Amino acid sequence: MQDWWRGSVTYQVYPRSFQDSDDDGIGDLPGITRRLDHIAALGCDAVWLSPIFRSPMADMGYDVSDYTDIDPLFGSLADFDALVARAHDLGLKVIIDQVLSHSSAQHPFFAESRSSRTNPRADWYVWADARPDGTPPNNWVSVFGGSAWEWDTRRRQYYLHNFLTSQPDFNFHNPEVQDWLLSTMRFWLDRGVDGFRLDTVNFYFHDAALRSNPPAPGNAVEPAVNPYEMQLHLHSKTQPENIGFLQRMRALLDSYDARMMVGEVGESHRAMRVMADYTRGQDRLHTAYSFEMLGPQFTAGHFRKRIADFFAGAPDGCPTWAFSNHDVIRHVSRWASHGSQDDVARLAAAMLLSFEGAICLYQGEELGQTETDIEFHELTDPPGITFWPDYKGRDGCRTPMVWDGSAQGGFTAGKPWLPVKPLQLARNAASQTGVAGSVLETYRALLRARKASAALLRGRTRFFDTPEPVLAFLRDTGTEAVACVYNLSPDPVTISVRGVAPGPVSQAARLATDRLDLGPNGYAWMAVPVAGAAIIGG
């Protein structure tokens, strides 16, 4: 099916932390292949692999030094081919991370580019002269702290790096750069991958005039922990030229059967608008996600507005929704004040798996896994080291997957690259398998119900006017409808309902003739005998 990605559920694997097959403490491709059955049994449609290319690992693989080879830490091209073959045997699509906005400083092209101002790749990265006083050409700042410009003594110029100084940005204004990056994507398409997760998809182009960014609206007197958020990034990213490159990528993927792209939109002030713009029509991204649902906000109004805003901007678009990933605190920990851990985990699963669009699950969330408390001496993440202790970085959500109750959770027999601690060990897969009502079995039941429902897979969304803390909406195809109601609080609520019948799944819910009682973090998916006839909260 060409548009298999619409309504699909993708499982994100963080390769370093999924399964170690050689006991060096780092997960690898053979280990992932061994555990693909878990993802298939969960009921997912695809697996996304975070970066596995050759890299010095300054940013855990998001600094690529060879775009067409596997880093030996993870295995070989033959191991990758075996993984793809096994995934396809299990009915799983394979999506790989493409980090196109920047490379590693150890990439041979950057070594060539910095060697002189006249070499064949002199214009492959973003270079700029210093201002007369020797300072950088503008005020752009790095996501990881400090100026986004680094002085290079060889060229006597600054180069742009939106992230680490060892992650120089490609110059997308150069057509040769675009052509070459597209050729690396073709390499993996020919190898059988089903799609790409595009890292920092709105960072490709920069303002060619190098204009400074204005301050962000509403800046506080006291600086933010990370000053990156103090700017409105009008010129350093999300440029109009980006659309043209998205169209070139889409044309490449459309020349193959049933391939897709999901883009990561890194925006603080206009995320939903950019998501809609990048997925509108048939010639851009297939789907995109932002960080709008990856933060601390946990209100019905917040979720309602994000979904409504996207479809207002792109009625024919397909968003990807996620509550956790490798860059943010796990959602069970972020939302801990809204109920018990297991109740919040199950409620979040039901909400996410009923949203219109594609869905992405992050490894371990199906166990109700929580954020690991990482001490400073255990850190590996560059921004965590830079901004400690006010920001502890991303290592806490990247700790190894916990498969069983053994010493290292069944992840490795060696010393894991990040620690497996008792709180995480207690939430292992083996202890939840086959246990009715466990978070794992709840995910499996919800995924089965979603797959069996045309309304939940493809139905449009109509929100009901319910007060906080109740989120309620209808998913409707015109011939089939499901009403979804959620209590986003640890206190019981009662709402009026008409035109619904008991549905496939619920938690702490009791449906009477004209009312629905929801206990703490309760939810219900209810059948609607006549499409569109449900009235909730009215």
Catalytic residue among 264, 292, 365, 371: 264
Q: What is the pLDDT of residue 222?
A: 63
173-199 burial string, b = 16+ CB within 10 Å, else e? ebeebbeebeebbeebbeeebbbbbbb
Residue 150 annotated as catalytic: no
More confident position, 29 or 530: 29
Q: In percent, how much of the chain has pLDDT > 90?
A: 93
The model's confidence at residue 259, banded by pLDDT at 50, 70 and 90, is very high
Q: What is the pLDDT of residue 146?
A: 94
In this structure, are residues 294 and 333 in contact, taking their beta carbons and an 8 Å threshold?
no
Q: What is the pLDDT of residue 532?
A: 65
Q: What is the pLDDT of residue 376?
A: 95
Tell me: the pLDDT tens digits for 267-324?
A: 988 899 999 999 999 999 999 999 999 999 999 999 999 999 999 999 999 999 999 9
> What is each CA distance from 44 to 12, 41, 267, 361, in whole angstroms?
10, 8, 28, 9
Q: What is the pLDDT of residue 538?
A: 62
Q: How far apart are CA 458 and CA 453, in angstroms?
A: 9
Can you give the residue ranges of every domain in the chain? 9-102+175-449, 460-536
What does the chain come to in residues? 538
Tell me: the pLDDT tens digits for 481-535?
A: 999 999 999 999 999 999 999 988 999 999 998 999 999 999 999 999 876 688 8
The CATH number of the structural domain formed by 9-102+175-449 is 3.20.20.80
More confident position, 218 or 18: 18
Q: What is the pLDDT of residue 224?
A: 74
Half-sphere exposure for 498 (CA within 13 Å, toward CB): 4
Q: What is the pLDDT of residue 31?
A: 98
In this structure, are residues 404 and 430 in contact, taking their beta carbons and an 8 Å threshold?
yes
In this structure, are residues 438 and 417 in contact, taking their beta carbons and an 8 Å threshold?
no
Confidence check: pLDDT of 79 > 90: yes
394-408 burial string, b = 16+ CB within 10 Å, else e? bbbbbbbbbbeeeeb
Confidence check: pLDDT of 2 > 90: no
Q: What is the largest CA-CA distance in the chain?
A: 78
> What is each CA distance from 503 to 400, 435, 498, 500, in whole angstroms?
36, 22, 14, 9
> What is each CA distance from 511 to 5, 175, 488, 496, 514, in whole angstroms?
34, 60, 18, 10, 8
Q: What is the pLDDT of residue 269?
A: 81
Residue 222 annotated as catalytic: no
> What is each CA distance from 216 to 77, 95, 229, 449, in whole angstroms?
45, 35, 7, 43
The sheet carrying 93-98 orders its strands as 287-289, 260-264, 195-198, 93-98, 46-49, 9-13, 358-362, 320-321
Tell me: the pLDDT tens digits for 319-344?
A: 999 999 999 999 999 999 999 999 99
Tokens of 25: 């403490």
Crossing angle, helix 242-254 and helix 271-279, to 10 degrees?
Answer: 40
Tokens of 17: 């932390």
The CATH homologous superfamily for domain 460-536 is: Golgi alpha-mannosidase II (2.60.40.1180)
Return the H-helix or E-strand segment holding 36: helix 29-42
Q: What is the pLDDT of residue 530?
A: 73
Helices (H), 376-491: 382-387, 422-425, 429-432, 439-451, 454-458
**Residue 228 three-state SS:** helix
> What is each CA distance from 425 to 9, 56, 371, 372, 411, in whole angstroms?
26, 30, 12, 10, 11
DSSP 336-365: GGGS-HHHHHHHHHHHHTTSSSEEEEETTG
For tokens 């297939």, name the residue.
286
The per-residue pLDDT of the chain, averaged, comes to: 96
Catalytic residue among 20, 45, 79, 199: 199
Signed CA dihedral, 51, 53, 57, 62: sign only: negative
Q: Which of 276, 298, 402 is nearest to 347 (CA)?
A: 298
